[in-house]
Structure 1
Amino acid sequence: MPNTAAPVAVSPLSDRLLAMSESATIAMAKKGRELAAKGVDVINLSFGEPDFQTPQYIKDAAKKALDDGYTFYTPVPGIPELRQAICDKLKRDNQLDFQPSQIVVSTGAKQALANAVLSLVNPGDEVIVFSPYWVSYEEMVKLAGGVAVPLVGTREHDYKATAAQLEAAITPRTKLIMYSSPCNPTGAVFSREELGAIAEVLARHPQVYALADEIYEYINFVGEHVSLAQFPAVADRVITVNGFSKGYAMTGWRLGYLAARQDIATACDKMQGQITSGTCSITQRAGVAALAGGRASSDEMAAAYRRRRDLVLELVKDIPGLDTPTPSGAFYIFPEVSAFFGRTAPDGSTIRNSSDLALFILNDAHVSAVSGEAFGAPECMRFSTAAADEKLVEAFRRIKASLAKLA
């Protein structure tokens, strides 16, 4: 008799897509929105999004651009005025000398990071990722066919990888290192001495490049921001990435950039030209205005983030089991939560890891946060402190009550 069994379905999706994880921050925000759609009052501490409005002078520039008919395609790497303004900013704030041709403006700093990874990394290349790391670093490396090699910083060193660790981790297959400072998720900030030591290691390994994510540059509570590209011995091998979302509260505008050696910038321009081309014309005009307006609004927001950090640190002192270091920048806390692993929830389920704990807090306290597993630190959890003061107070009141239910 003929075989009438239904054929086994074969996924049409590519292997690279199937191997890729969904962004954990986006996944938790989605779960929070699903609960909110059912009428639940969810406090979202999963997204790294300022709750401030974009400064009015930036919005006014966008309105003017629209009224002036600035609605056509732009050059792939950005309009000349914006690329020059970025060069001026890098000189003023970071003591870095770039020409506009070395700047590639992208649809958010995330695209700038992806452009750089895809332009540099070959299949099998090793990419050392300072850990804890932002959730998309590892997935970008995988997309390029590279091998992500986490370099785990210790709690005693504020979760910052050291130059000695880096030296020990470099192999003949190492092509790139990736890190952020101030760091997402820990809020740690690399000092001039620490980056200088890292630069000395890189100087001994001329085949290794560095991708420095400085998106939280303006949210720094310890003073000096140092760019790895400031060290002459490695400057031509550092790709500096930054953007407007955090410092100027321009998340929805999607505007980022990278600055790099000319051949790398040209490669990123080529990559972007086949994927998105130039970013939004209106957004770019707003970016010119943002940089021309200086740092006054950014500094005001940074002062508020520092106050909120201090508020949250006081709140978590009253929650047994949350071991929370003091972040030096960005707008997150990243407590160790392993004290709750193995405990039992009221429904009888066991909290096995930080993902379970994040889901428990979401469903019981109606507060969304992100498991540390996605950041390379499974014993931790990330909470955004970018929400308004009253929301933070209410969120951690709920969290304290929920965690007390775990037996």
Structure 2
Amino acid sequence: MDFDLTEEQSLLVDSVRKLLSDKYGFEQRKAYIASERGWSQEMWSSFAELGLLGLPFAEEDGGFGAGLTDTCLIAEQFGRSLVVEPWFSTAVIGGSALRHGGSAALRQELVPQVAAGEARLALAQQERQSRYDLFDVATTAKKSGSGWVLNGNKGMVIHGDSATHLIVSARVAGGQRDKAGIGLFVVEAGAPGVTVRGFRTVDGQRAAEVILENAPAQHALGEAENGLPLLEKVVAESIAALSFEAVGCMDVAHAMTLDYMKTREQFGRPIGSFQALQHRAADMLVAIEQSRSMSYYAVQAAEESDADERRRGIAAVKVQIGRASRLVGQQSIQLHGGIAMTMEYACGHYFKRLTVNDGLFGNADFHLRALADEGGLVKAA
């Protein structure tokens, strides 16, 4: 297989890298986080101007018609700079939901707004009791005229407090843990009956708790009573992008660690000259390269038409990326020593992002168990 980037992809990556290099230094990022929004409106406008917000959408809907690979390449660059703007929730998660489940009318209404930076999306899927099970849904949706009325609570909605539209999983029929009877609904964040309580996550991003009390929804994505397959597809593509973001984070953490090992002296010489520490750095590199390979595989797995194959492939990706993230993050902290634990030094912030990403849509342990239940990545004949 040819893993070289096309000329268009190289230009896109270079443009994003230059923008982030100029305007997303560590101190600038701290200022963005400390602002009232918790992220930069100026950067958001720059993302829109570069076409990053409309990247995954079809041209006929007002987007740029790029594929999942292009989106993931951007995610890697954003991981390298620990971007805190709601790009992942809007363009990746929300973009996937709209592309695969939105009606033509809804796409033509929302996509131009998303591409212009005027609309922001967030997936409200997780509930207190659900853990990582996508099908454990207590929030209800009842038919009301031409639309729906939703009731329930959602937690850890990434960038939920800045979203203009929430994509909410709700149960139309069946019991709380039934896999049938689940739908995905588009709810305007400012609609009556919607309460959003925002907070900052440990890695500097924003999230929210969402309370729905007779909240109106005019649009259902896909089949209102069979939305779980759509949700699983959306999560699979989101995990693919997360894997690229994690590789970007690990790359920078590793480079920072190597640089520190070459300059920090102990017993009269750089600590990088000690063989035991060289072995640790080598283990980090191996974990990163394995993760890079699995991130490429993640794109292939996410685009798999067979739902069972896709589920196994994505679970394997999550296991590898999660374990590697922990190893690289912990070793970068250990090899730096106390300085890595300070807020003024970037290394610890990369570990925080890797830790948060591991928990999104199920951590490594959860997916390892799921993969075992499925009979492994490759089922025995």
TM over 0.5: no
- Relative to the length of structure 1, the TM-score reads 0.25
Rg larger in 1 or in 2? 1
| Structure having greater relative contact order (Cα 8 Å, sep ≥ 6) | 1
Bigger proportion of residues as helix: 2
